[in-house]
Structure 1
Amino acid sequence: MHTEPPPHDLLEKWLNVHATVEGRYGHTLLEDTGLGTVEAVSALRAYFESAHVDARQHFHDFVGMSLHPDDGARGSNAKYPNCLPPKSHRGLFGEVLSGLFTEALPFIGRHEWLVPVFLFRNHEDVQQYLYTLARNPERKREVIGRKGDDFIGLVVNEDGNVTRFIAGEAKWRKTWTPSKLDEVMLGKKVAVDDGSDDKVHDGKGVWFEINRALNVPIGLKQMQDLLQDLAPDEYQGVILSLDRVLQLENADPVERTDLIVLSGGGAAKREVGESLLEWQAVPKEYTAGRDLQVVELILKDGDNLIDSLYKTLWT
């Protein structure tokens, strides 16, 4: 289970916070103060280990090696998540931040969010990658991203019933230029079928995915299965509540909050306090009509931070 609280002291020193709420839209811009990689990694390590510990146990069991294999032992080259390619680390980084920020920051609605476990064990391609890598260290490759929700958090009332959940979509870019932002949010550019050289966004970016997301997504079922496997007694009420939420007919109502986390470096001409997305009103591209929370994390040396962090987990 995920049990480590967010490193609040680090967040206060590491990030300048600019937060606004307009109706059902919350926007939070976080800017790196230049604290330094060593101190940031030291403070983040425990939280990231807690976020990954379930998947680490699951994948290591599947591969057939101990949770903490000795260096040089067969399979020790395939430790999760350290051994994954850099691109995968960047994806995981944003997904863990989704949980960290949900627990640590005042989001839209100011709900008390519960993050009992992260969903990382549901990454089928990572499981295949680790199994093969442990038996053939030369078989390194890129890893296909995990399907489904990047992150799920819950609101549980005093009766133990799940009344709301937050579903996160996390994106990392080394540098957030306007063109890269448009590609992420609006989709890749494709040729117009009119004989010209014009190109338009294909409309299959983050806005498309979040607008068409199910009110009760598969991530809730994955969360229920994890709780049933890891802590059935402690979370009995939550598990039963999710049974009623997940049934196809006459399901219990549940509210959904959408979360978008964009992290990476700022463009060369970016000014201090400049956000990537609209913050004064709900972006016109968002049409789902639910509570929406956007978090933008602008880092000064994000690549070094991520590489250093994932290199030192469990070492």
Structure 2
Amino acid sequence: MERQHCRTTISVNPRIVQGQAFVIRFRRITMQPLNQWLPQVAIPVQHQQYRLRVWREAGDLLDPLRQEVIDYAREALDDAREKMRRGFADPLSPFEDDAHDPAANYPAVLHRFTLQGYLGETLAGLAIEHFGAFGHYDWHVPAFLFRMHSTEFEHLDEINQKVQSGVAHDADARAHIRPGRTGDDALAFRIGAAGQITHVLTLEAKCLTTHKAAIATDAHAKISSGVQRPTGVLELINLLADYSTTEAIEWRLRLLSFYRTGYLNAERWDGVAYAVGNRPVAANRIGWLPAPQPHAAYTGGRPLEAMEFQFTDVRSLVNMIYRGN
């Protein structure tokens, strides 16, 4: 466990927006500045069913798309906010102040380990949507599964009550560490000409300030154990049932068909997204994850994409995106 070096005090200042239904996500980041900020390192492909890709941050080139990155990451959390607020929706008495918004301060007041987890999952979706996977660029990530992190929602309610009563909140105190969300980190799909799901890409994501071999091993072991029909499909179906947009209805019907029998004819592929705040110093090593062949802990036997992001300062990136500083 990393030591905490600073105290982050959060005040109540949410932006309350009611009636949004952005479950079918629409934001993308402009590709040219994205490629400049995260240039890809060339790595020869040496394995038929495995590829490592590495993006190394050019930190001084973030400014042109800073707001786009923030908006993309925050949009991924919109469904979680909607879930927390849904039971409070009352057109006769809407909540219009901090004290009555159950999603106030989400996710800024949560421990940075949780925020790093959110960033890792978001980067997994970003990589698939902007850089493709397995040579295909028509993947869809209809929604993220942040709403399943119920332990943090309960914790958020406790924090907000204390903050509203004037108690200073040290977001990164060890006492505020909560378990990560279980289940699939993210799912991406390819759609056939008839509208059916032909491929599902199950993603396991990790985000660390510095490389930890044990965490990389755990990610590959976890993604190996998955079955043909990812458990996250069930969660997505239930998530989409809360929305009445045309896109949400179409996706829910498509996923219901996949859940019942469609998965038997679809291909499941795997992906690991590994974001880290340092890079290898050895001249002959490009990434922390292996390049010529899959990690020894991966035993899934399916095509595997390893996607590694090397940042200059993960802590600052997390604070910028989720805490506004």
Cα 1:76–1:27, aligned 2, differ >3 Å: closer, same or farther?
same
Alignment match, 2:240: 227
2:150 matched to 1:134? no
Partner Cα separation in structure 1 for residue 222 and residue 125 of structure 2: 20
Partner residue of 1:52 out of 66, 77, 86 = 77
Q: For residues 229 and 139 of structure 2, what CA distance do their matches in structure 1 show?
A: 17
In the alignment, the residues of structure 2 paired with residue 68 and residue 310 of structure 1 have an alpha-carbon distance, to the nearest angstrom, of: 23
Equivalent position of 1:292 in the other structure? 304
> Letter of the aligned partner of 1:274 in structure 2?
I
| 2:118 matched residue in structure 1 | 92
Alignment of 1:59-208 (within 5 A): 59-61=84-86, 70=97, 73=99, 78-137=104-163, 138=167, 141-176=176-211, 180-181=212-213, 183-186=214-217, 205-208=218-221
Deviation at 1:106, TM superposition (A): 3.0
Q: Supply the AA of the counterpart residue of 1:25.
A: Y
Q: Name the SS for the 1:136 alignment partner.
A: helix
TM-score by length of 2: 0.78
* Distance across 1 between alignment mates of 2:253 and 2:100: 42
For the 8 Å contact 2:203–2:223, the answer to whether it is kept is no
Instruction: Tell me the distance in 1 between the aligned counterparts of 2:96 and 2:136.
Output: 42
Which structure features the higher share of strand residues? 1
Bigger mean CA offset, 165-174 vs 30-39: 30-39
Contact 1:157 1:163 in 2 (8 A): yes
Secondary structure of 1:98's match?
A: helix
Report how far residue 63 of structure 1 moved. Answer: 7.3
What do residues 64-85 of structure 1 show as CA deviations (whole Å, max 9, x unaligned)?
8999965x65658942122211
Seen in structure 2, the aligned counterparts of structure 1 residues 103 and 208 have a Cα distance that, compared at 3 Å, is same
1:28-62 alpha-carbon deviations (Å, 9 max, x no partner): 10011232565453230121122111112212345
Contact 1:156 1:238 in 2 (8 A): no
The aligned length equals 289
Question: Deviation of residue 308 (structure 1)?
Answer: 1.4
Structure 1: tracts of 5 or more residues without a match: 187-204
TM-fit CA distance, 1:252 = 4.0
Deviation track 1:134-166 (CA, whole Å, cap 9, x = no partner) reads 323358722221111111111122221111111
Which amino acid is 1:227 matched to?
A: L
1:262 deviates by 0.8
Q: Does the aligned pair in 2 maintain the 1:207–1:286 contact within 8 Å? A: yes
The change in CA–CA distance for 1:30 and 1:268 in structure 2 (over 3 A counts) is closer
Partners of 1:172 and 1:46 in 2: how far apart?
19
Q: Helix, strand or coil: the match of 2:75?
A: helix
1:211 corresponds, among 224, 231, 243, to 224
Amino acid at match of 1:212: S
Letter in 2 for 1:185: A
State the secondary structure of the residue aligned to 1:144: coil
TM-score by length of 1: 0.81
Q: Which runs of 5+ in 2 are unaligned?
A: 1-22
Distance (whole Å) between structure 2 residues aligned to residue 254 and residue 308 of structure 1: 39
- Equivalent position of 1:274 in the other structure: 286
CA distance in 1, matches of 2:137, 2:26: 19
Alpha-carbon distance between aligned partners in 2 of 1:302 and 1:272, rounded to the nearest angstrom: 24
CA RMSD of aligned residues (A): 3.0
After superposition, give the CA deviation of every residue in 1:179-209 in whole Å (9 maximum; x if it has no partner).
x22x1133xxxxxxxxxxxxxxxxxx22221
| Bigger mean CA offset, 58-67 vs 227-236 | 58-67
